[in-house]
Amino acid sequence: MEIKPTLLVLAAGMATRYGSLKQIVAFGPHGETIIDYSIYDAIKAGFKKVVFIIRKSIEAEFKAAMQDKFSRAVEVDFVLQELDILPEGFSVPQDRVKPWGTAHAVWVAAGKLTEPFAVINGDDFYGYQSFQIMADFLKSGQECGLVGYLLANTLSEHGAVSRGICEVDAAGNLVSITEQTHIEKTQDGIVAIGPDQQPIPLAPDQMVSMNLMGFAPSLLPYFGKYLEEFLREKAHLPKAEFFLPLVLDKLVKEGATQVNVLPTPEKWFGVTYPADKPLVVEALKKLIEAGTYPQNLWNTPVNSK
């Protein structure tokens, strides 16, 4: 039976570093968002369904910008991620404002994920080859994988970024993954700043995750299990988040599944900060001039695999 993978787009973030709803900001010549280019690449690579994770507060604006663009090319669905959507027996702490995180978003969407699925951030450009690598992986029937980028290919010129730092064995399998929420270039090289404010040196060729991860639906119960563990241990911390790398790290260390790290040659760009926008616009312009994308993204049918 043909596997028809789903793409889960995380678009419920609050964009605190950017300062506005960057998920629908136009970067392409005909008003295309970064999400548009991701969806285009995903359809081309063979994804058959797209599920957007959004918040109720942006639902109308987001759907107005997105719903009709590519619905003729791919099945589209939406899921709301709200603070009070929690496992039975748990409630939202009084001082909680920050969303619960990327892995909570996957747990919220579990009912829509009946096929093997990949997860992406809505504000990151991943490149076509990355989607093709992941689509081929999911169609092969394997359980869990992530697309790995060279750290040097994922940095912003305008400030710190969050990345999942991967330890990989000789066979290309994940040994551990740690979410670092403050990675930046300095005069002394690339460093991560941890909670203790001490810099951790990182190599430019360090393999990192950009949240382009793939899962078999059989792994979804682990999201619920680990979410409950997280809530019991850290729900009282106002800024604690249930990140996707935490789930992968637990899956590996508990022996629940093998996680394949799938290297990509692609170079990331995205809009972590407002000053990133001109660079993104210029990068997309060059890709259009090179023939990677059409001038008007949705003016012609996408040739999917």
In a domain, 243, yes or no: no
CATH of the domain at 75: 3.90.550.10
Among residues 300, 220, 279, the alpha carbon closest in space to that of 40 is found at 300
pTM: 0.93
301 pLDDT band, cuts 50/70/90, is confident
The encoded tokens of residue 104 equal: 């909570």
Average pLDDT over residues 17-36: 79
Average pLDDT over residues 51-68: 90
Q: Is the pLDDT of residue 19 over 70?
A: no
- Over residues 198-250, the pLDDT tens digits come to 889 999 999 999 999 999 999 999 999 999 999 999 999 999 999 999 999 99
pLDDT at residue number 221: 98
54 is in which domain, residue-wise?
6-146+209-236+266-289
In a domain, 197, yes or no: no
In a domain, 157, yes or no: no
In a domain, 194, yes or no: no
**How far is 152 from 62, CA to CA, in rounded Å?**
32
In a domain, 101, yes or no: yes
Q: Is the pLDDT of residue 32 over 70?
A: yes
Domain count, the chain: 1
16 pLDDT band, cuts 50/70/90, is very low
Q: Where are the beta strands (DSSP E) in the chain?
A: 6-10, 49-54, 75-80, 117-121, 124-125, 144-150, 161-168, 174-186, 189-193, 199-202, 207-215, 259-263, 269-270
In a domain, 33, yes or no: yes
pLDDT at residue number 274: 82
The region that residue 27 occupies, defined by phi over 0 for left and psi between -120 and 50 for alpha, beta otherwise, is: alpha
Half-sphere exposure of 290 (CA within 13 A, CB side): 7
In a domain, 191, yes or no: no
